[in-house]
Each structure stands twice: as C-alpha cells, then as structure tokens.
C-alpha cells in the first residue's frame, strides 16, 4: 500500500470500499474495489441479506449515501429484520442518507425508473437484493437491444422473446449498467436452488460482475461458509471461510 501512497492521497477516497466485515476486508486487501459490482450467491438462508445489511451499515457509518433495492414489498419487515442484528436504519432513512426502494418486476418502466433514481442521487453504495425475481420477469427487447420492456407492451415483431438468452443478457446488462459507476460500489444477490452448482439463478450475471461471493451451508457440520470466487484486481484465497452470524454485529468470518 505504501507504494500507492501518492495516488491514494490525490484520489482521496482510496480504491477499496469496506464490506462492513473486517475479516472479509482483510482477505480482500482492504475491501471491494471501488466502483465494482459483486454477486452474492447462495441458497435461501445462507446469509445474503445479512451481508447486504452489513455493507449498507458500513456505508451509513461512513456518512455515505446508500440505496437498498429490494424485491420484497414489505420494507418494514426488512427494517425489522435488520434491527434483529443491531442495525437500526431508521435514522439514516429519515436523514435521507439511506433509501429503500421496492423493485416491482411487473412494472414495465422498471429500468427507466431505476436509472433515474441512480442518476439523480449520487449513491456510494447500492444493494440489489435479490436479482432473482428480476431475472424471471417477462421481458422483450426492442430497438436493437437498447430498450427493454415487459410483455404487456411487447410488439409482435420484437426480435427477442423472454425465453431467449439474448434478451436475458440485454436485460441483465442493462440492470448492471445502471448500477455501474466509478464511485458507486454494489452488491447484487442471487438465489441459487439447493444442490445447484450455478453461481446465479440466471447463469449469466456471474459473467457480467466484477466479483463473486458464494455463501454456503454445511448442515452436517452445522456450519456456514463464505468463499470469494472472483474479485477483479485482487489476489485472494479460494478457501471457504467459516462464518458466524450473531444478534450483535451480524456476520463475521473466522480466519
Ligand atoms: N440471530 C441470529 N443468529 C444467528 N443466525 C441467525 C440469526 N437470525 C437469522 N439467522 C440465520 O440467518 C439466516 C437468514 O439469513 P438471510 O441473510 O436472511 O439469508 P438469505 O438472504 O440468504 O436467504 C437464517 O436462516 C438463520 O439461519
Ligand atoms: Mg434474503
């Protein structure tokens, strides 16, 4: 790090963003690369949402502007769930430094609304929890793949129907493109089915993102694990690390 002292001083903000988990930051040489998108993949109950809470909490603590995109329309439940882990987001929501936004996959203007939200506010951190309902929404791609709309609006001569991999690719690239910016670091979760070896439900996102965390359960050993599968520009171990989840302070890695 010494070697980059000058560069860090001039860019001020530094090139790494804390995940909110000290031990994970250590494995990542300081944290996530600024401006990166990391996929958090795992079966239900593996701790994806808790990891997102922790990441957002770190942002709020650092006085950053954060956006939590959720596919759950019961935002109060989400706030209550966060509170169980000692994360009280109410003050940040009131102060306007944290926004929870429900993404309705049925809404045909979803991409445009999300784009406006992200462009109008300079967020430092964005969480998208979870990508799965969005990767299952009915979409059609029109105008040479630059615009995406759900079937409601679909024209009979649309080139790519929902079941085409091209349409899904355009849709996911568009979503990730909206999140992607030099100063904004994101976590995007994906639910994989039990027993699957895929890294996301859609099998496409893992190729678009900069980093991948895999969360896992080992029921026989009564253990949870986190593996860093990929992280752009970062030398990291591929070893699964045992994690512990507690009421105070959320998730911790045992190094
Ligand atoms: N207070 C707690 N202490 C320890 N583990 C907990 C606690 N609360 C929830 N958990 C564990 O965390 C899991 C939920 O994590 P969550 O982040 O919601 O999973 P995911 O988003 O991957 O579905 C629960 O299934 C439970 O095993
Ligand atoms: Mg969840």
Kindly list the domain boundaries of the chain, sorted by start residue: 16-80+108-192+205-253
pLDDT tens readout for residues 7-64: 444 345 689 999 999 999 999 999 999 999 999 999 999 999 999 999 999 999 999 9
Mean pLDDT of 73-80: 94
- Give the Å distance between the CA of 113 and the centre of ligand 2: 23
Q: Which CATH number fits domain 16-80+108-192+205-253: 3.40.50.10540, 3.40.630.10, 3.40.605.10, 3.40.50.300?
A: 3.40.50.300
Residue nearest to atom 25 of ligand 1 (CA): 45
Ligand 1 neighbourhood includes 186 CB (under 6 angstroms): no
On the CB side of 180, CA atoms within 13 Å amount to: 11
CA pair distance 54, 57, nearest whole angstrom: 5
- pTM attached to this predicted model: 0.91
Ligand 1 neighbourhood includes 47 CB (under 6 angstroms): yes
Judged against a pLDDT cut of 50, whether residue 1 lies above it is answered with no
């Amino acid at each position: 790090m010494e070697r980059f002292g000058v560069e860090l001083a001039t860019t001020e903000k530094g090139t790494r963003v804390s995940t909110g988990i000290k031990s994970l930051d250590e494995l990542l040489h300081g944290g996530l690369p600024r401006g990166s998108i990391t996929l958090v993949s795992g079966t239900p109950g593996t701790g994806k949402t808790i990891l997102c809470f922790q990441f957002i909490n770190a942002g709020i603590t650092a006085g950053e502007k954060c956006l939590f995109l959720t596919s759950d329309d019961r935002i109060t439940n989400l706030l209550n769930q966060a509170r169980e882990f000692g994360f009280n987001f109410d003050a940040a929501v009131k102060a306007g430094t944290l926004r929870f936004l429900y993404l309705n996959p049925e809404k045909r203007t979803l991409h445009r609304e999300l784009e406006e939200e992200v462009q109008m506010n300079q967020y430092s951190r964005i969480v998208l929890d979870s990508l799965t309902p969005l990767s299952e929404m009915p979409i059609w791609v029109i105008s040479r793949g630059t615009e995406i709309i759900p079937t409601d609006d679909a024209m009979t001569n649309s080139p790519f129907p929902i079941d085409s991999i091209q349409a899904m690719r355009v849709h996911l690239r568009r979503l990730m493109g909206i999140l992607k910016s030099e100063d904004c670091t994101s976590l995007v979760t994906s639910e994989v089915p039990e027993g699957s070896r895929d890294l996301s439900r859609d099998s496409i996102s893992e190729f678009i993102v900069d980093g991948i965390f895999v969360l896992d359960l080992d029921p026989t050993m009564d253990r949870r694990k986190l593996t860093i599968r990929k992280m752009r520009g970062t030398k990291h171990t591929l070893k699964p690390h045992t994690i512990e989840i507690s009421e105070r302070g959320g998730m911790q890695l045992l190094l």
